[in-house]
Structure 1
């Protein structure tokens, strides 16, 4: 299992394609170069001003080192102003533990469910009945965020999975996502 960030960016109206083009051209390989695994990148089908993506790290120590290397490195320094100009908010980030999710860019739609279960035991029963390994189940990583310049949501216990499933009996939101058609990232 990896440390995974599920990042949801709110963008200025009409700026999503600008960010996606920049992201695919510069930020995928720029992050890979410092040891970050870039996972699925998505357009939110219900919000034209939202970009959703995942990135993964082997552990929290690698996360801190890789993020520091990227955000102090040449790729971010050169392109940060252009990227930041597209964004209203980049702080909607869940820190998770799970397998990651490298969405197939040929897929037209992926459903991601963010669930707030009321108890681990009852959720485990739901997961055993309704989710398979293909759902790429993730759970909140409760370790302290050791990169304070990159905020994450805290005080929540969530489960996130990808793909259709019976609706859970707890509060949940569903994201209808379209994978960004770009070069596959492994």
Structure 2
């Protein structure tokens, strides 16, 4: 499996709370050991980010063709791949919490068509800033109503630029229970690209994110 082509119908939004001062340690390890190895297992790495408002938060996005493929790929990586066997304990040692995970499916946009992932050394940040906005709804019906009314133009930031992509909660049961996800939630997520941090903050997103050196989404 290559994990680099095809439509992505399932996206995980993962937000990790790390031990103080250890974010760069995790990012360096992640970009050296867990990028190609996850792709070998059929996982598409979409975005790797520093949360600019929370210095001990690491945020990332990964995608799968469907829920069945997700289960197969996650098992291949976490249960059988040598990279996780060797370096997983060191990664886990940097974390306080890794269970803040939203399971999503695309509404508009195609994150799979983002540019090629850089082959950098894991140091520094990538280009631009990503603003990620999460809106919660009371139930699936209210979320459905919002999705039906949404268009990329009406959901655009005040710059008039349509969002890069939008996603909504994937209601299917977690296909790999070994990794928890937030259940019983109904959210709509919007990603937008900005030239810099100030431009992003002006539009009040939930998360202000700086791409890491090897993030495809930037």
TM-score (norm 1): 0.87
Q: Which residue does 1:65 correspond to in 2? A: 72
Assess, with a 3 A threshold, how the Cα gap between structure 1 residues 144 and 52 changes in structure 2: closer, same or farther: same
Q: CA shift at 1:148, angstroms? A: 1.1
* Structure-to-structure mapping, 1:140-159, within 5 angstroms: 140-159=169-188
**Distance (Å, rounded) in 2 between the aligned partners of 1:135 and 1:173:** 14
Unaligned runs of 5+ in 2: 1-7, 118-124, 194-203
Q: Does 1:97 align with 2:105?
A: yes
Q: Which residue does 1:130 correspond to in 2? A: 155
SS class of match (1:130): coil
Q: CA shift at 1:183, angstroms? A: 6.7
Q: CA shift at 1:56, angstroms? A: 0.4
SS class of match (2:206): strand
Unaligned runs of 5+ in 1: 165-171
Q: Which residue does 2:145 correspond to in 1? A: 121
**Distance (Å, rounded) in 1 between the aligned partners of 2:215 and 2:150:** 35
User: Between Structure 1 and Structure 2, how many residues are aligned?
Assistant: 179
Q: CA shift at 1:109, angstroms? A: 1.5
TM-score (norm 2): 0.75
Q: Which residue does 1:168 correspond to in 2? A: none
**Distance (Å, rounded) in 2 between the aligned partners of 1:160 and 1:183:** 19
Out of 14, 18, 37, the residue aligned to residue 11 of structure 1 is 18
**Distance (Å, rounded) in 1 between the aligned partners of 2:71 and 2:9:** 14
**Distance (Å, rounded) in 2 between the aligned partners of 1:133 and 1:65:** 34
Check conservation: 2:162, 2:192, Cα contact below 8 A.
no
**Distance (Å, rounded) in 1 between the aligned partners of 2:75 and 2:146:** 38
* Structure-to-structure mapping, 1:42-61, within 5 angstroms: 42-61=49-68
1:78-112 CA distance string (max 9 Å, x none) = 00111001000000000001244758864331110
Q: Which residue does 1:87 correspond to in 2? A: 95
Q: Which residue does 1:77 correspond to in 2? A: 85
Q: Which residue does 1:181 correspond to in 2? A: 213
**Distance (Å, rounded) in 2 between the aligned partners of 1:71 and 1:121:** 37
Q: CA shift at 1:121, angstroms? A: 2.1
**Distance (Å, rounded) in 1 between the aligned partners of 2:58 and 2:84:** 18
SS class of match (2:11): strand
**Distance (Å, rounded) in 2 between the aligned partners of 1:94 and 1:183:** 19
Check conservation: 2:126, 2:215, Cα contact below 8 A.
no
1:27-67 CA distance string (max 9 Å, x none) = 01010001000011000000000000000000001000000
